Amino acid sequence: MTMSEDTSSWSSERESQASKLIQKSKESPFVPIGMTGFAAIVGLGLYKLRTRGNTKMSVHLIHTRVAAQACVVGAVTFGVLYSMYKEYVVKPRETNPSK
């Protein structure tokens, strides 16, 4: 096996994972929203770490963790509610147009 064969298998594996991520994002758009919100809150928490004042570091980190978890849980909740809406409200209307 040569080095070029090695890198081609890696690139095809990365492309397939990227395409899987894009496909999953289209199926449930709230997952990447939750991931982005999580990354933004953690980045903001790290940025504010320098200017936290008299607040203990442990308290600052706990607040950042709770905010990041709330963002992810909120995105998952909205995703579930959206899928339930599509499943139980939109789909019955499409199958029974007489109502």
Summary mean pLDDT of the chain: 81
Specify the pLDDT at position 19.
86
Specify the pLDDT at position 94.
73
Q: CB count, 10 Å around CB of 4?
A: 7
Note the pLDDT tens digit of each residue in 31-72: 888 888 999 999 999 888 888 888 898 999 999 999 999 998
Contacts from 82-89 at CB under 8 Å and sequence distance 24+? Answer: 82/30, 83/28
Looking at 20-24, 54-58, 66-70, 87-91, which range is the least confident one? 20-24
Domains of the chain: which residue ranges? 29-95
Specify the pLDDT at position 26.
80
Has this prediction a pTM greater than 0.75? no
